[in-house]
Structure 1
């Protein structure tokens, strides 16, 4: 077995960090290693999103240990995701810089709905394809994911900002557990869950499934209480455990059979959330899945590499929703991708960069569905703030950067909106987008020139057929503007004459 046969998924949750390493066998992935550490990163985060020093060092130590196991596995075959607590960090880029260095690979911060989608993929492992519709509950440290449907793509995927760590801190901040505090927090959560009830009823789910740490801990406590093997959780089981936790009176005094010392400090909040969900959705019995977010990340990663990328479906649907002119999007896309192939090797750009360039070009006019004036800003806002299945926050931020500055002025601090590791790629990709938009402005295939694009240390050199700029004065002016604006990002642009047609040129 070589490292090129291995794939890894890293789930950086608010309570625990998990890693799976799998080997590809006969076109499928077989898990060969699992590592889990209770980091409780959410417990070290204050209300302003600041992480205390002790928790920070604990998290980085864990990531360094994970990094040792990941060493040698190709980066394209690793995906690490950060969930609710990473979304709440006051200075996420500063922490991610050292965290990614310790882990040895990029960390994708994902939205709550994307987290729910990945939970769904994991929880479906082992389920029969024709199985009835189901609802899946995943209670994490900082949030709870609620997903429902009956196929690979869920019909409902929501994330609520209530998890075992966050609810324990809010409801029982000084450690005291009382019925009054329990009921007050239950009512607050129930109000949030109320909005989901109509959609769940419409789906018509017949089976409820729970996954991840809190729910599996509850299952272990029930099994230890009854002296039985683990079984599904019932509403009576949850009510009994609630009474036992309330009787303890303090989070530090909860000492129940089957409850680990690592889970004890946050079980009160987790149990409270579970009870609220089961009551709101009238769940009488909760089956338990051994699979969760980390398996979903692994499945999604494998799908991306096997050309079943959910991001492609997301972009197609978004382009249709906003009425994008497909012919114009294809012109810009084709021109940009042809240029990409000519300069990618020099700049060390990879397939992942090509994909993001492709998708950005196909959505570059999505903002026209809102207004023509400043449509580039509308396009950027749509991509940055939409729930886009399959995309991480950083990917959406990079595409939004390309769309926001596809035309008009580029401010000197434009790159500050992106993680530093993306700066060099962003410069080149933006140059490709701006050149493509400028040269495709006539919205006609007949006006597109053959071209060649070259890169060196000084920037880009665009070669066009002799006399073409003289016959296209508007394009000539646009390219002069591009030269000025790209210089603000440190990208030089020179124009030259094209001799014989470049073998990869557009229109050749």
Structure 2
């Protein structure tokens, strides 16, 4: 099964991107992330020499993409990603900690250097749930501007959902009826019901629930040395919290019984897809665009929920950076599958950054 599924993975051609990231210019198969036609000719003069950048500072990660327009979308010329855990401790204190802010500023300083080195012409930098929720979020934004020169925009949950959809909707399986796209973040999870029949997705309904892998872990994770029964109980509590938060959305958007389509973009789904393929290390070319049976994703989620922290760390597809957070991601994923029982799950290793780049290149921001 894993070999058959590998063959369905979208083949991508990176262009100068760091290992672990890739280009949005596929060799064949699924449609690329495309830019709409320019509004006027002069605006695209010298477009091949223009570099655009997108920074996404989330609750758990800091990510950067720098790209140039191409005939079939855009080509990534540089990329950066670092786990910073900006939202660590936020659920308990309501504020960003000094250590978390220091980690984020260090990562953003790397981004600033890359922006200068690549002579970026136009960029947009956004911050999401951690900064939305923190009492000192605005002060942190000011510090980032002062120390790195990067002007972060704290975007709304609705804008976050819109950008994620723009960045990954090209990977939706063809079909009729609405589709569900979701993004499991560090501090929140966005679910978006879309009509994908037109050239661009139309958002029908959406939900931002206040549970992501960091916030849910901090509330319900089992102690590291706990008995398997304790771990199982903690996972059940996680799933119950997700079910409560997702219930209003589930009542509004019953799935299409004929062909429910589902696409996920987040570290959770890409990590679980890596486990599904039994990869010795993460490979974006095999993951981005992959279609996985949801039964397999459920089985992996339930198995991981019962492993100890050390056992999860020992899995090469997970490793030490995600081992403590992946169980919460599994609980959120299962909650989504409960309300949208699609037979398959599309996996996207793209999202907000790609959505920003699309908008910048289309002159929509």
Give the TM-score of the pair, scaled to structure 2: 0.74
| Equivalent residue runs for 1:128-277 within 5 Å | 133-151=178-196, 152-172=201-221, 174-175=223-224, 176=226, 178-201=231-254, 206-224=260-278, 231-248=290-307, 250-254=308-312, 255-277=314-336
Unaligned runs of 5+ in 1: 310-508
What secondary structure does 2:88 align onto? helix
Q: 1:48 aligns with which of 93, 97, 112?
A: 93
Task: Report how far residue 4 of structure 1 moved.
Answer: 6.6
Aligned to 1:105: 150
Q: How many residues align?
A: 305
C-alpha contact (below 8 Å) 1:148/1:154 kept by paired residues = yes
| Equivalent residue runs for 1:298-317 within 5 Å | 298-303=357-362, 305=363, 308=364
Aligned to 1:285: 344
**For 2:172 and 2:292, how far apart are their aligned partners in 1?**
19
**For 1:220 and 1:72, how far apart are their aligned partners in 2?**
33
**For 2:147 and 2:358, how far apart are their aligned partners in 1?**
24
Task: Report how far residue 127 of structure 1 moved.
Answer: 5.4
**For 2:252 and 2:359, how far apart are their aligned partners in 1?**
25
Aligned to 1:15: 60
Measured at CA, do residues 71 and 102 of structure 1 come closer, stay the same or move farther in structure 2, by a change above 3 Å? farther
Measured at CA, do residues 196 and 75 of structure 1 come closer, stay the same or move farther in structure 2, by a change above 3 Å? same
**For 2:155 and 2:47, how far apart are their aligned partners in 1?**
30
- Calculate the aligned-residue CA RMSD, in Å: 3.0
Unaligned runs of 5+ in 2: 1-45
Q: 1:114 aligns with which of 140, 154, 159?
A: 159
Q: 2:125 aligns with which of 69, 80, 89?
A: 80
Measured at CA, do residues 11 and 190 of structure 1 come closer, stay the same or move farther in structure 2, by a change above 3 Å? same
**For 2:149 and 2:110, how far apart are their aligned partners in 1?**
10
Task: Report how far residue 102 of structure 1 moved.
Answer: 3.5
Aligned to 1:93: 138
Q: Which 4+ stretches in 1 moved above 4 angstroms? A: 1-4, 72-76, 126-132, 202-205, 225-231
Structure with the largest fraction of helix = 1
**For 1:128 and 1:135, how far apart are their aligned partners in 2?**
11
Measured at CA, do residues 215 and 127 of structure 1 come closer, stay the same or move farther in structure 2, by a change above 3 Å? closer
C-alpha contact (below 8 Å) 2:172/2:263 kept by paired residues = no
For the pair shown, the structure with the greater C-alpha radius of gyration is: 1
Higher relative contact order (CA 8 A, sep 6+): 2
